[in-house]
Structure 1
Amino acid sequence: MELKATRYEVDGHVATVWLHRPERYNAWTGRMHTEYRWILADLEKNPAVRVVVLTGTPPAFCVGGDTEALASHAERGNYDTGLTADTATPGFGVRPEFDHDFSFQFGMRFPIIAAINGACAGIGLALALFCDLRFASATARMTTAAPKLGLPAEYGMSWTLPRLVGVTRAADLLLSGRVFTAAETAEWGLWNSVEADADATLPAALAYAQMLATTAGPNAVRTTKAQIYADLLRHDVGASITESKQLMNEAMATAEYREGVSALRSKRPPDFR
């Protein structure tokens, strides 16, 4: 696919994906959505990729839906995602609950880390909330945006935000649409790390991604990610324990486990090739 609104690169086990419409502050369009899903599907087929970092080409992460697209929705009186029947479906087929935008990220085999380097609003924030981990610039200005447009909470933010920050804080952001910063919400549970500024955010996320890709077993990471989101929906602690014991039994027959134990006993870093 010819990429016009996104770009990506792979460095070893870590892939970086940029939302790439800097002249429009990376405003979201159907084209960007289509390309983003195509990129993730392509990365999912690459066995070398163990972690993905998602960011925006400076100066923003993603300011939400493109204003021209929003105006078009208003003229038609309905919402059009801009997607077609042949749009890629990365992460689909794991659970029915994940066959949606952007919960499909929960079904992907690798962690996705959001590096929020600048303004983040509306669908851009929804996308980040469905990432597994989030690094943010302290100065990045963010908003759920929807109520200021006369819209309800979009793309599952009424599901993700309460689970991340609690109902009271989620209600604040979802009902008001007020602007907030990563610095202001540093202790809310939204962020794995809040960096000093935009320039520090992507390097910090990439450093974490590199650590995760090289010091944790890829099969263990993939399985644990699946457990996290299955248990988030299952609400059955006994079933979680039973499944975890079965998964541990299966893992102990792998070369990855044998390497982990060998490294521990030899007091050296593991080599998960």
Structure 2
Amino acid sequence: MRASILLASVFGAAVFAAPAYPDLNEAAALPGGLDTVSEYFNMLATKVQQTRSMAVAPVCDLSKASLPVAPSPLPAPGAGLTLKHVAIGRGTQNYTCDLSNATAIPVANGAVATLFNASCIASTYPDLANALPKVALQFNLTASESSQKLAPSDLAISGKHFFTNLTTPFFNLDSSRSLKLGEVPCAKLAATPAPADAAKGQQGEAAVAWLKLVAREGATGGLQEVYRVETAGGSPPATCKGLQASFTVQYAAQYWFYAK
């Protein structure tokens, strides 16, 4: 894939904006939010300039992608597994509260996210891929599932993420017409705190932990392991004071899928 096409997949939506394209949330309590967006586009402009002088265009090769490593690293991918897909997830972490106890701690109640195909960006322009969760969180979610976009990119939807029960995160990578990479119900194997400088959410929420998940029975497409890394936002308040019985917190993250 030529560099111009790769960059168009990141930048195209800014040029060919659809009516349902996400709005920049200028009112979010996210310090430096506009600076974050500006820095991203400056980085993108630099990439465009660099590709003009390249003798050979970069190739979309997942073997060149490097899984981000947390300060306290997660376990490495299993022996014999290869990277099959990288996605940016954009959605909500969901929580419940005991309204009879204002000091109760919010309880995790799964998550819902749309997955966007970032495989070529992660393998060719990892700095852009690593910036996308933070930048995407500056924009509001679109309401219509059929017209969702990952602002400020134009990455194609590659799947859906949700929970089938409280302990089973599920990833459907068969929902895309072109990819059909499989489905994988998961169990959490390991967690590690997000880096101290990880991006906060629209209301200043801390980034959720980085995770390593392993496949449960029923996985297809050879999918075996999933990593959630480069998280932005998603954490709940410390207590349930002033909250509703159920609420959501917006987040974004990278998801790395390994298969045998």
After TM superposition, the score normalised by the length of structure 2 is 0.25
Higher strand share: 2
Which entry has the higher C-alpha Rg, 1 or 2?
1
After TM superposition, the score normalised by the length of structure 1 is 0.24
Structure with greater contact order relative to length (CA < 8 Å, sep ≥ 6) = 2
Higher helix share: 1
